[in-house]
Structure 1
Amino acid sequence: MALARAAEHASLWDVIRDDAQALARSEPAFAAWMHEAILNHDDLGGALAQLIAVALGSDSDDRAMVRRIAKGAYRSDPTLIPTAHRDLAAPLARDPACPGPLHVLLHFKGYLALQAYRIAHRLWLDGRVELARDLSVRAARALHVSLHPSAVIGGGAFIDHGTGIAVGEDVVIGDDLSMLQGVTVDHAIDARGAPRIGHGVLLAAGAIVLGPIAIGDYAKVGAGSLVTASVPSGCTAVGVPTRLVNCSPDARPASSMDQSLP
């Protein structure tokens, strides 16, 4: 299984490089950018370190610092690059309008913000809290996606469009999340505790999830909905305040949600 995943990741990187070379040949205005962003790097980690540095750094010295931080995180945590591959594959599988992996890498700011968050989260776990916060603030300022470095977000996440997203402190989100623009997942003003989001959940544009509640696996939250109570697995929550629709008779209560979330 590990060998199969490694081959899949290598194949995805080969596709990205081939597409970058083709674009550099067909559109000379992009040639220098394709070499700087993709072709000068041996793997996805090198390309991501460069892209994150360019997005978050204010000048050449600042970009060099961010690049070193990113590369250091990738060296210290060997799971980050496979997770970046899995995140990259998510929009290819779930967005029929996505042209390909190179487009995601270069133009999906939700993807880039997610990878910056993963580096900040690694720093947070290593006790480098202020550096993690600084990186998170830089990403929020540059990409308009605010993902607190203490939050836990599983692999295979897809953040579409990205603008206006806020995920707060101590939020826990399972694998295969799909999230559109304008989503907020955070503490409620009058209650302690952060939301726990299950696996395979869809949070549509403008959805707000607040407080110490659980959203069960494969649940959906409709656009513009306000969720302040738990949602069972497989149900759809819509409205302000939300009501549950499309629940199957055997829907599992969200309170029994798998506690093995990352």
Structure 2
Amino acid sequence: MACLSDESRVPLPQVKMIPASLPLPAQLPDEQDEHKPFNFDSFSIAHRLEKVFPVYAMGTPNPDSDSVLPSYFGNSNCADPIWDAVREEAKLEAEREPILSSFLYASILSHDCLEQALAFVLANRLQNPTLLATQLTDIFCDVMLHDKGIQRSIRLDVQAFKDRDPACLSYCSALLYMKGYHSLQVHRVAHALWGQGRKVLASALQSRVSEVFGVDIHPAAKIGEGILLDHGTGVVIGETAIVGNRVSLMHVRCNFGGTGKEIGDRHPKVGEGALIGASATILGNIRIGEGAMIAAGSLVLKEVPPHSMVAGTPATVIGYLHEHDPSLTMKHDATKDFFKNIAAI
């Protein structure tokens, strides 16, 4: 593991962190201020993310992809608010826990961008005696640094973890420790490799993720951005499955599978903004409508209408939702009204 240089051991400055949930300022800063050093005291992460992801990160329809690609991609002179936040958090943690300083330096502070740090973290989680960390780092960096779609997705995903998962302490903790996030980003690389015809390598990454994290996502599966894969353990997503943008998948045995030995298009299609409860199983080539909620433990065998709530085995509609994207609010607690609806099935 890399060691801190003498220069890096100088006491780190105190930085006041601003929560990402703060309200946005009424007016954006002047254009001449954009290239000034990042000041956490006066310019919140939420403000800067609003400039980078102007509307789509807020849950509105995706505009033309070329118009929303962050300007800092491929330009080291432009600020990256997510990467800035990760680095500042890592510096603070190194100061609070000196025993982790070498780990934080090697994983985050020694790198130039989020893609390089993520590649390093993923490679060291997935390495084995015959699949070396250096080889994996090269693979991940080569794909991520040349794919603007992945660059965008890894940032929207980490924002989803920070916003929706109460166990996520910081952007830094999601990048370093959350295997749901790790599994998702390896899948994005594997999916890109699959599309390039490098199917053996993509399958090798899938297999390794399944062994290490207990998450099995076929490289051909199509997964949108702004995804929360909570915990990840036991999640299975089949080859022809499609998961829309801003979907939240709760932990343990979320199974998007087929119903037997059929071939062709045989897996579920999950609409944008859906919330899939823990231990839910969705089988067959069926559609889960936009903004739908699948209750924990449900077995879904037929299509789910948009903005509806289904529960049971087999699942049936027990109500409809007023919120546009339940995946963003994460209101899936077992309230009295919820139990009343269940009893009426």
TM-score over 0.5 for the pair: yes
Q: For residue 251 of structure 2, give the secondary structure of its aligned residue in structure 1.
A: coil
Residue 281 of structure 2 aligns with an amino acid whose one-letter code is: I
Count, aligned residues: 249
State the alpha-carbon separation in 1 of the partners of residues 235 and 267 from structure 2. Answer: 16
- The percentage of counterpart residues that share the same residue type is 33
1:236 maps to which residue? 309
1:218 corresponding residue in structure 2: 291
Alignment-mate amino acid for residue 112 of structure 1 = H
Deviation at 1:194, TM superposition (A): 1.3
Whole-Å Cα distance in 2 between the matches of residues 215 and 108 of structure 1? 26
**Structure 1 stretches of 4+ moved >2 Å:** 1-9, 95-98
Contact map agreement 1:191 1:212 (CA 8 A) in 2: no
Displacement, 1:61? 6.3
The residue aligned with 1:260 is none
Give per-residue Cα distances to partners, 1:72-125, cap 9 Å, x unaligned: 111332221111000000022212342111111112110010000000000000
Change (3 A) 1:100 1:2: closer
Match of 1:84 in 2: 154
Deviations 1:38-89 (A, max 9, x none): 0011111001100110011114961111111101111332221111000000
Counterpart of 1:33 in structure 2 is: 103
Correspondence for 2:52? 4
**Residue pairs, 1:98-247, within 5 angstroms:** 98-182=168-252, 183-189=254-260, 191-192=262-263, 193-247=266-320
Point out the more displaced range, 163-172 or 96-105.
96-105
| 2: CA distance, partners of 1:196 / 1:17 | 37
Counterpart in the other structure of 2:58: none
Instruction: Find the aligned partners of 2:140 and 2:321 in 1 and give their Cα distance.
Output: 44
Taking the aligned partners of 1:63 and 1:97, their CA distance within structure 2 comes to 28
- 1:23-102 pair list within 5 angstroms: 23-59=93-129, 62-102=132-172
* Contact 1:191–1:211 (Cα < 8 Å) also in 2: no
Letter in 2 for 1:188: T
Asked whether 1:19 is paired with 2:92, we answer: no
Does the 8 Å contact 1:25/1:31 carry over to 2? Answer: yes
Partners of 2:309 and 2:321 within 8 A in 1: no
- Structure whose residues are more often helix by fraction: 1
Instruction: Give SS of 1:245's match.
Output: strand
For 2:239, the aligned partner's letter is: E
| Structure 2 unmatched runs, 5+ | 1-48, 54-69, 73-78, 323-345
Task: Give the TM-score, by structure 2 length.
Answer: 0.69
Q: Report the structure number with the largest CA radius of gyration.
A: 2
**TM-score, scaled to structure 1:** 0.90
Q: Secondary structure at the match of 2:80?
A: helix
Q: Which moved more, 1:211-220 or 1:17-26?
A: 17-26
Deviation at 1:2, TM superposition (A): 10
